[in-house]
C-alpha cells in the first residue's frame, strides 16, 4: 500500500467520522472560516454576534511566519499553544510525529504530538 493511498484512505475515514459527529474534527474550509471570524471580530469591523463571542472565548489565532494558525484560548500567555489541525492535514502531522520518534509506538508518539 503506497503512502498516497494510505493517506487518502485515512482522510476518507476521518470524513466519514466527521459526518457522524462534527464536534471534534474540523475540515479545512471551516478552519479558515473560524480564523476569519475571529480576526474580523477582534478587529471590531462589525457588530459581534453571539457566535463571534463563542469563537473568541474558545479559540485564538496565532501568526506563524506568514500563516495564521488556530489555537486553543490560553489562560496564561506563557502557556504552550495547543494547535488545531484540519482533517486534511491530520495524516501529515501524525506521520511526522511517527517518524521523528524513530517509528516509536503510540505512547512515544503522543508525547511528541
Q: What is the pLDDT of residues 23-34, one digit of tens each?
A: 888 999 999 999
Q: Are residues 34 and 67 in the same domain?
A: yes
At residue 107, the pLDDT reads 66
Statement to judge: residues 33 and 80 lie in one domain:
yes
**Whether residue 5 is found in the same domain as residue 16:** yes
Question: Number of folded domains in the chain?
Answer: 2
C-alpha cell at 99: 517518524
3-state SS record for 75-99: CCCCCCCCECCCHHHHHHHHHHHHH
What is the tens place of the pLDDT at every residue in 37-84? 999 888 886 788 899 899 999 999 999 999 999 999 988 888 889 899
Residue 104 binned pLDDT confidence (cut-offs 50, 70, 90): low
- The per-residue pLDDT for 33 is 95
Amino acid at each position: 500500500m503506497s503512502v498516497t493511498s494510505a493517506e487518502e484512505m485515512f482522510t476518507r475515514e476521518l470524513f466519514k467520522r466527521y459526518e457522524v459527529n462534527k464536534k471534534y474534527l474540523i475540515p479545512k474550509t471551516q478552519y479558515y472560516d473560524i480564523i476569519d471570524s475571529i480576526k474580523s471580530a477582534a478587529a471590531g469591523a462589525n457588530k459581534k454576534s453571539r457566535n463571534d463571542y463563542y469563537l473568541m472565548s474558545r479559540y485564538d489565532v496565532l501568526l506563524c511566519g506568514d500563516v495564521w494558525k488556530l489555537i486553543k484560548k490560553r489562560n496564561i500567555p506563557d502557556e504552550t499553544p495547543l494547535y488545531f489541525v484540519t482533517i486534511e492535514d491530520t495524516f501529515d502531522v501524525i506521520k511526522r510525529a511517527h517518524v521523528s520518534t524513530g517509528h516509536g509506538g503510540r505512547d512515544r508518539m503522543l508525547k511528541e504530538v
